[in-house]
Chains A and B, each alone.
Chain A
Amino acid sequence: MMQTSPEIGGMGHSVKRKEDARFIQGKGTYVDDVHLPGMVYGHVVRSPYGHARLKSINIEAAMKVPGALAVITGADLAAANLAWMPTLFHDKQMVLATGKVLFQAQEVAFAVATEQYAAADMAELVEVEYEELPVLVDPHKALDADAPILREDREEKSNHIFHWEVGDRHETQKAIQGGPVTAKVDAVFQRCHPAPLETCGCVADFNKVTGKLTIWLTSQAPHAHRTLFALVGGIPEQNIRVISPDIGGGFGNKVPIYPGYVCAVVASLTLGRPVKWIESRSENLQSTGFARDYHMTAEIAAERDGTVKALRVKTLADHGAFNAAAQPSKFPAGLFSICTGSYDFPKAFCEVDGVYTNKAPGGIAYRCSFRVTEAAYLIERAMDVLAYELKMDPAALRLKNFIPPDKFPYQCPLGWTYDSGNYPAAMNLALKMAGYDELRKEQAEKRKKGELMGIGISSFTEIVGAGPAHTFDIVGIKMFDSCEIRIHPTGKAIARLGTKSQGQGHETTFPQIIAQELGIPQQDIVLEEGDTDTAPYGLGTYASRSTPVAGGATAMASRKIRDKARKIAAHLLEVSEEDLEWEPGKFFVKGAPSKAKTIQEIAFAAYTNLPAGMEAGLEAVHYYDPPNLTFPFGTYICVVDIDKGTGEVKVRRFIAVDDCGNIINPMIVEGQIHGGLTEGLAIAFMQLIGYDESGNVQGGNFMDYLLPTAVETPNWETGKTCTPSPHHPIGAKGVGESPNVGSPAAFVNAVVDALSHLGVRHIDMPVTSWKVWQILQQHGIA
């Protein structure tokens, strides 16, 4: 790829983030910063019970609060046929409870008042009578004969949601039985939550005069949400405008449509006033899209020399009360079948069963392409268990079984075609950066002295950029994405995309792609996203899809503009198009570089001096349908020391080598990796949305659901290799989620490695000091 000058600032330049100027000065505009004349406030009344029948709701006392305007209940919504709404995944969920409640913190009523605190006071005073029902929190008991049936609304009287399988069951079973060496691991990827800095919320403003509904929404996918509001609410789509202003982190949490949004819209339609609803931190953690909750078993068969023969995976998926998984509609377990990872398994089989429990609904992709995080964690854990069985070094075992670089594009046994990869290169760089052999020597010496030190490796393969239209859609809408570019007469530009940044730095990176393709300096290009009245239709930002999909659209739209620019340049230079050569920023006559027209001169001509018969203007729009997914990868190495007395794990070093193909902005990629690793650390050691046997949330606030600070976060050592995607217009693969996908296994592998000589083969996350201390106690160490 041609390197542009720093003035142009195309791909590969660490351009400082344009959006940060307003963010660090507190000048961002988030949904809660929207204030409209006559605006009123909503507050959700929530269920204290995990499972209970709703007997009565009395709003009398609530309506006596000064400023009270309305209390909306499930019965009110039922009258308008809105008590239920479709989820993103072939199910429906209650907007406000009717009949019964199915999880603690479920939405029961919506109080509206002229002041925010009055609405909260009203919610306190709404009297709800419940009759407790038996609670189901353990997914392993969901299919028992005596389990309470949670979903009375469904025809099928069972808590079973789906069974899904892929691969060759028979052949895989044969291979596993044949050994000669087998390894097995039962691993739970615990229920966790993205906990974005900004919680979810909206301002719904229905104008009774124009009939137009404007919704400021914490949305990662504003266009899809507009269509869903139109389909579910029956409002003509041209009369709905969804605006996603600045978004304070999403990580998948802002992909679903939540009951609070619908209630605010209903309240605005009813009252004819703008209605704001912003959830609290606890409401966010307790009721909005959780992630993971996969209860998995992996079995590997291998030859005695370590060559893997087959992988079998069986998983129980806890989806909570409603299947509100946010994932492509043909994939009930998302892209979990990427579970063969970086390894050349001749045979594989994977099956997943989903069940309902009395927990919050979700199954969203937390910084993850639809379950790739669970898959990567499982295979990377299982490979370590196999290494212990074989008494083989885990790095050597991985190197032996990597898909060889010359086998790409690689067809995996579970159906995916990996675009490109060079796994040994990433691994070898990581081993070198870590000083792996010395670390192993140090570990052996420490072990002799009774000290606990562990080295964990994770050499993951990602699957991102959903996705090709033939396979990928969400509620029927194909997963393309879009970019529209308009070049102004002075050579400056505006670009609009169907994606929506939540902190990723789109305002900086997408102009860099255009700068690369057209030579217009990146600072001359404004980027706009998130307003459905102006941006072209797109499926939004999640699952690391912005660069692979919208990045493709941006490059393709730029190239359409360049094609027209060439025609104009030929006209201006009075030569034929074939006589022209391009370098970023100008066309020049072959062999006569001084005879040139800059892109700015061409842009001016597009409005002032066109060839005969050509349409005026210089703009293009492109809807990009990716031919395949992209497969970023990397190797992470984690070194831990464990305090024998307390079980406290200290991450001494963490080496992260990532390969995300061609890089748009190295500084932003580095930042993405730091952020994702920090989230991975939190998942591995700190975070769990737990439930007690009565259905009470045990991780519903920041006292129990811990976030890592600078104190807990180690120094991240990053490195990179570059294997471009062969099918992507700019060879980029996407990176946002890689560190979150790849790191949990590295952390856990390191802790298990430190304790492996005691026979420890697995510890479920979060790996707390308490868990480690108990293990040390059992072995008479602590």
Chain B
Amino acid sequence: MAVRIENTFEVSETIGEVWALLSDPRNVVGCVPGAKIIETVDDRTFKGAISVKVGPSLTEYKGEVKIVRLEEQLHLLELDGRGQDVRGKGGASMKMTGSLEALDGGGTRVTAISEVNVVGMLAQFGGRMLTDVSGVIFKQFTERFQEKLKNPGAEIQGADKPIKGVRVVSKALGQSIRRALGGSDEPR
């Protein structure tokens, strides 16, 4: 089950400030709910883990993140990630391209294009669900990333807590239902 997810958000910080934060995977991972870096293999390869809690079952993916491209001039970052649930319930791989663009007013536009391929139970929900779930996770990521930009030194509250899959899934399901009923994607 492969899906392509494109996300864009804008921040008021300068492109230099944003790049400093984005180009270090330790910072990026810190903003992903439930994710942590366990081991730095070399300056471009990291071993990490991410926990997703769906109902009573906690799924912990372990894997590797590699920086494939890091181009400061272009403000372009390409990451390759690959992980497996430690209990063998499935796996996921992701290729993410992040790029920055300076805005006229001094701010920055962040664009992230992710191609996610999921194998296992989650994949059986189909693309509609996966796209929506990713959307919710990315929204949380965006909030944390912006918080970190404003306050680089601070530890993010609850960053190491697992992603609450139930909430994520039910939120995404709500979006699917609203869409099916002809409503907009935005929660009312």
Chain A residues in contact with chain B, CB under 8 A?
A: 47-50, 104, 108, 124-130, 132, 282, 692-698, 700-701, 704
Query: Known contacts A48-B85, A696-B119: does B91 contact A132 (CB below 8 Å)?
Result: yes
**Interchain CA distance A42-B88 in the complex, whole Å:** 19
Q: Chain A's nearest CB lies how many Å from the CB of B112? A: 22
Whether, in the assembled complex, B41 has its beta carbon less than 8 Å from a beta carbon of chain A, the answer is no
Which residues on A sit within 8 Å (CB–CB) of B120? Answer: 48-49, 104, 696
How many angstroms from the CA of A153 to the CA of B9 in the assembled complex?
53
Interface centre among B2, B88, B121 (most CB of A within 10 A): B88
A281: shortest Cβ distance to chain B, in Å? Answer: 12
Known: A48-B119, A694-B1. A124 touches B57 (CB 8 A): yes
**B residues touching A (Cβ–Cβ < 8 Å)?**
1-2, 57, 84-91, 117-121, 123-124, 126
Extra A-B contacts (14), CB below 8 Å, given A282-B124, A694-B123, A704-B124: A47-B88, A48-B90, A48-B91, A48-B119, A48-B121, A126-B87, A126-B88, A127-B87, A129-B84, A692-B2, A696-B1, A696-B119, A698-B1, A698-B124
Question: Taking A132-B119, A693-B2 as contacts, is the C-beta distance between A698 and B84 under 8 angstroms?
Answer: no
Nearest 6 A/B pairs, CB to CB: A128-B88, A48-B120, A48-B90, A696-B123, A127-B87, A696-B1
Instruction: Tell which of A104, A126, A701 has the most Cβ of chain B within 10 Å.
Output: A104
* A125 touching B124, Cβ below 8 Å: no
Q: Are the CB atoms of B126 and A704 closer together than 8 Å?
A: yes
CB distance from A96 to the nearest CB of B (A): 14
Q: Is the interface of A mostly helix, strand, loop or mixed?
A: loop
Bound: A282/B89 CA distance, A = 15
**Chain A residue at minimal CB-CB distance from B85:** A48
**CB-defined contacts of A129 to chain B, threshold 8 Å:** 84, 88
**10 chain-A/chain-B pairs, Cβ below 8 angstroms:** A47-B88, A104-B119, A104-B120, A125-B87, A129-B88, A130-B91, A282-B124, A694-B2, A694-B118, A701-B124
Q: Given that A126-B87, A127-B87 are known contacts, is A50 also in contact with B124, CB under 8 Å in the complex?
A: no
Q: Which of B57, B86, B91 contacts A49 (CB 8 A)?
A: B91
Report Cα–Cα, A622/B119, bound state, in Å: 53
A126 vs B119: C-alpha distance in the bound complex, in angstroms? 18
**Are B87 and A692 in contact, with the CB atoms below 8 A?**
no
By a CB distance below 8 angstroms, the chain B residues around A125 are 87
Query: Would B119 and A695 count as touching, CB distance under 8 A?
Result: yes
Contact A698 B126 (CB under 8 A): yes
B118, B119, B120: residue with the most chain A Cβ atoms closer than 10 Å = B119
A48 — which chain B residues lie within 8 A by C-beta? 85, 88-91, 119-121
Complex Cα gap A704–B91 (Å) = 22
List the B residue with the shortest CB-CB distance to A128: B88
Q: Are A124 and B123 in contact (CB under 8 A)?
A: no
Which chain A residues border B118 with CB–CB below 8 Å? 694, 696
Residues of chain B contacted by A127 (CB below 8 angstroms):
86-88
| Residues of A with C-beta under 8 A to B121 | 48
Q: Which of A47, A48, A697, A698 has the most CB of B within 10 A?
A: A48
Distance in angstroms between the alpha carbons of A234 and B29 in the assembled complex:
56
With both chains docked as a complex, state the minimum distance between the C-beta of B84 and any C-beta of chain A, in angstroms.
7
A694 B86 Cβ-Cβ under 8 A: no
Q: Give Cα A126 to B88, complex, Å.
A: 8
Kindly report which residue of chain B lies nearest to residue A286, judged by CB atoms. Answer: B124
Q: Which residue of A lies closest to B82 (CB)?
A: A132
How far, in Å, is A214 (CB) from chain B's closest CB? 34
A528 to chain B: closest CB distance in Å? Answer: 41
Across-interface contacts of A282 in B (CB, < 8 A): 124
Note all chain A residues with C-beta closer than 8 A to B126: 698, 704
How many Å lie between the Cα of A304 and that of B87 in the bound state? 66
**Which of chain B's residues have a CB closer than 8 A to the CB of A696?**
1, 118-120, 123-124
Residue of B nearest to A127 (CB): B87
- Taking CB atoms, residues of chain B closer than 8 Å to A47 are 88
User: Contact at B119–A694, with CB atoms within 8 Å?
Assistant: yes
**Distance to closest chain B CB from A478 (angstroms):** 42
On chain B, the residues within 8 Å of A694 by CB distance are: 1-2, 117-119, 123
How far apart are the CA atoms of A694 and B90 in the complex, in Å?
12
**Alpha-carbon distance between A692 and B89 when the two chains are bound, in angstroms:** 18
Q: Report the separation of the CA atoms of residues A49 and B126 in the bound assembly, to the nearest whole angstrom.
A: 15
Q: Smallest CB–CB gap between B107 and chain A, Å?
A: 39
What CA separation (Å) do A704 and B127 show in the bound complex?
12
Q: Please report the C-alpha to C-alpha distance between residue A490 and residue B133 in the assembled complex, in whole angstroms.
A: 70
Check B88–A692 contact: CB distance below 8 A. Answer: no
Q: Per a CB cutoff under 8 Å, which of A130, A695, A697 touches B84?
A: A130
User: Measured between C-beta atoms, what is the minimum distance from A107 to chain B in Å?
Assistant: 13
Report Cα–Cα, A697/B87, bound state, in Å.
Answer: 20
| Nearest-CB residue, chain A, relative to B87 | A127
Which B residues lie within 8 Å of A126 (CB)?
A: 87-88
Interface centre among B57, B87, B123 (most CB of A within 10 A): B87
Contacts of B90 in A (CB 8 A): 48-49
In the assembled complex, which residues on chain B have CB atoms less than 8 Å from the CB atom of A692?
Answer: 1-2, 123
Chain B residues near A104 (CB, 8 Å)?
Answer: 119-120
Whether the pair A128, B1 counts as a contact (CB closer than 8 A) is no
Residues of chain A contacted by B88 (CB below 8 angstroms): 47-48, 108, 126-130
A704 cross-chain contacts in B, Cβ below 8 A: 124, 126
B88 to chain A, nearest CB (A): 3
A124 touches B87 (CB 8 A): yes
Q: Please give, as numbers and ranges, the residues of chain A lying within 8 Å of B123 by CB-CB distance.
A: 692, 694, 696
Output the least CB separation between B134 and chain A (Å). 16
Nearest Cβ on chain A to B127's Cβ, whole angstroms: 9
- In the bound assembly, the distance between CA atoms of A392 and B122 in angstroms comes to 51
